[in-house]
């Protein structure tokens, strides 16, 4: 009896502590009113390939803000880093859509004064105030770039591109498959199942009830027997493909670009089932020690030129529509190749990463939240 009460009470306080910050969300903090003098330092948490000398060095010269970059391998790691040491160790983070809400509701990031970001007006409409970084009209970040998670394969093993994600669940490639070590990978399985097993009724790969989750976990547990290694950093996967330990896997375009530059016979494709993807946002820590440098950084990386450099380097699509021309200047045809001029329908095709919550989009409340996803993922890996 006592135990049951305690459980209920804990649940109640838990709900409160989640609901309260949601209600307060916007009122928590006043955004910066004007950009002052740089503080000389900027501590960055970013994806691999997001803080390249190509645009970091000119930024340091132009603003005097010395950039210290820390790479993270997953959204979970980014959230943990932004919360570590009281939350004032890092100034900005390139958070994907499955981390942004956790950072906003966790009071880890501050509201952005969008008037101080001139490039914002040139963004594609979907990325001006997307619901993963703008809550109740308050901006908590500035969109950056986006792209699909792709299927990477060795062209010697696959002379023609695989048309289905089924190859990464196929026993034929046992011991030669690699996928990211990331709970959000469950969504890739769910997306695949939404097409191959319509009876499950999966409409959104990030909103799974217990039955749908069980099906995805079953698929992934079967896959686990075929996996060579779950990669944690992009460089891990690059080495696996270089040495021939893996011949097919889930990847980012960054790996494909790096491997192709090293003349490893690989190519990438988006299979018929579609793809999950990411849309990244630069956010500023609520306790940032260098807010002026942080704003200068966001302004720097949203300029068409840096947007183009980033897009070509990583193999993704810029948020700034003016970047298209710059991309073709650097590498003719790249605007088209990386979909910088693609119609809105292309954007809408990709199932962008978002934080799984217990509230499903359809009004029901029987979806599994991210804690469950993490637990299931550990169980899948064994």
Partner 1 sequence: MNPAKAISSLSWRRGWVAVMSLLGLPAVWFGGLYLAAIGAMFVTSFWTVDSLSGQLIPGFSLVNFQSLLSGHVYIRIAERTIFIAAAVTITDVILAWPVAYAMVRLAGPRLRAAMMAAVMIPLWSSYLARVYAWRLILSHDGVLNWALSAIGLPNAHIGYSNWAMWIVFSYLWLPFMILPVSAAVERIPPSLLEASADLGARGLATFRRVMVPMALPGMVAGAISTFSLTLGDYVTPMLVGGRGSDFIGNVVYSNVGVTNNIPFAAAYAVLPLCVMGVFLLVARKLGAFDAL
Q: Which stretch binds partner 1 (CB under 8 A): 51-59, 79-87, 269-277, 313-321?
A: 79-87
Q: Which of residues 285-324 bind partner 1 (CB under 8 A)?
A: none
279: nearest Cα among 253, 316, 314, 229: 316
Q: Which stretch binds partner 1 (CB under 8 A): 152-160, 211-219, 273-281, 366-374?
A: 366-374
DSSP 249-288: EEE-HHHHHHHHHTT--EEEE--TT--EEEEEEEEEBTT-
Task: Indicate whether 11 belongs to the interface with partner 1 (CB under 8 A).
Answer: no
Shortest separation between residue 13's beta carbon and partner 1, angstroms: 8
DSSP state of 40: S
Count of residues engaged in binding partner 1, rule: CB under 8 A: 39
Shortest separation between residue 198's beta carbon and partner 1, angstroms: 30
Q: Which stretch binds partner 1 (CB under 8 A): 35-43, 46-54, 72-80, 189-197?
A: 72-80
Q: Which of residues 165-224 bind partner 1 (CB under 8 A)?
A: 175, 224
Q: Is 330 left (phi over 0), alpha (psi -120 to 50) or beta?
A: alpha
Q: Which two tokens stand for residue 95?
A: 């958070």
The Cα–Cα gap between 74 and 36 comes to 33
**For residue 2, which phi and psi values (nearest 5 degrees)?**
-60, -45
Which of 63, 108, 150, 285 forms a contact with partner 1 (CB under 8 A)?
A: 108
Which of 74, 143, 149, 256 forms a contact with partner 1 (CB under 8 A)?
A: 74
Task: Indicate whether 379 belongs to the interface with partner 1 (CB under 8 A).
Answer: yes
DSSP state of 377: H
227: nearest Cα among 205, 321, 236: 236
Which of 8, 10, 331, 349 forms a contact with partner 1 (CB under 8 A)?
A: 10
Q: Which two tokens stand for residue 346?
A: 């292309």
Task: Indicate whether 5 belongs to the interface with partner 1 (CB under 8 A).
Answer: no
- Which residues have a Cβ under 8 Å from the Cβ of 256 and sit 6 or more positions away? 150, 152, 266, 267, 268, 315
In contact, 284 and 103? CB cutoff 8 Å: no
Shortest separation between residue 106's beta carbon and partner 1, angstroms: 4
The Cα–Cα gap between 226 and 113 comes to 48
Task: Indicate whether 21 belongs to the interface with partner 1 (CB under 8 A).
Answer: yes
Task: Indicate whether 353 belongs to the interface with partner 1 (CB under 8 A).
Answer: no
Which of 70, 128, 229, 325 forms a contact with partner 1 (CB under 8 A)?
A: 229
The Cα–Cα gap between 238 and 153 comes to 12
Q: Which of residues 241-280 bind partner 1 (CB under 8 A)?
A: 243-245
Q: Which two tokens stand for residue 277?
A: 């993807």
Task: Indicate whether 371 belongs to the interface with partner 1 (CB under 8 A).
Answer: yes
Which parts of this chain interact with partner 1 (CB under 8 A)?
Answer: 10, 14, 17-18, 21, 74, 76-77, 79-81, 83, 102, 105-108, 175, 224-225, 227-230, 232, 239-240, 243-245, 369-371, 374-375, 378-379, 381-382
């Amino acid at each position: 009896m006592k135990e049951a009460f305690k459980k209920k009470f804990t649940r109640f306080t838990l709900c409160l502590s989640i609901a309260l910050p949601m209600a307060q969300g916007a009122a928590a903090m006043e955004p910066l009113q004007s950009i002052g003098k740089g503080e000389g330092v900027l501590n960055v948490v970013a994806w691999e390939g997001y803080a390249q000398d190509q645009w970091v060095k000119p930024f340091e010269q132009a603003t005097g803000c010395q950039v210290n970059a820390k790479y993270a391998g997953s959204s979970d790691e980014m959230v943990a880093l932004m919360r570590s040491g009281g939350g004032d160790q890092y100034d900005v983070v390139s958070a994907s859509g499955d981390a942004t809400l956790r950072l906003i509701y966790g009071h880890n990031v501050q509201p952005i004064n969008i008037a101080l970001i001139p490039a914002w007006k040139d963004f594609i409409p979907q990325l001006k105030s997307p619901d993963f970084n703008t809550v109740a009209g308050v901006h908590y970040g500035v969109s950056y770039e986006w792209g699909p998670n792709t299927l990477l394969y060795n062209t010697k093993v696959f002379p023609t591109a695989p048309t289905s994600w089924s190859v990464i669940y196929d026993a034929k490639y046992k011991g030669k498959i690699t996928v990211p070590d990331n709970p959000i990978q469950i969504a890739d399985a769910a997306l695949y199942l939404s097409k191959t097993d319509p009876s499950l009724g999966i409409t959104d790969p990030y909103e799974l009830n217990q039955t749908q989750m069980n099906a995805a976990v079953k698929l992934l547990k079967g896959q686990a027997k075929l996996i060579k290694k779950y990669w944690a950093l992009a460089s891990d996967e690059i080495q696996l493909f270089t040495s021939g330990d893996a011949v097919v896997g889930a990847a980012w375009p960054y790996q494909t670009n790096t491997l192709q530059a090293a003349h490893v016979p690989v190519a990438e494709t988006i299979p018929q089932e579609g793809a999950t993807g990411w849309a990244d946002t630069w956010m500023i820590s609520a306790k940032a020690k260098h807010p002026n440098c942080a704003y200068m950084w966001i302004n720097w990386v949203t300029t068409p030129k840096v947007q183009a450099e980033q897009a070509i380097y990583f193999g993704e699509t810029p948020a700034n529509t003016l970047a298209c021309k710059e991309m073709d200047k650097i590498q003719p045809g790249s605007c088209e190749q990386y979909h910088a001029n693609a119609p809105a329908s292309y954007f809408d095709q990709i199932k962008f990463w978002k934080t799984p919550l217990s509230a499903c989009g359809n009004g029901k409340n029987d979806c599994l939240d991210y804690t469950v996803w993490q637990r299931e993922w550990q169980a899948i890996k064994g």
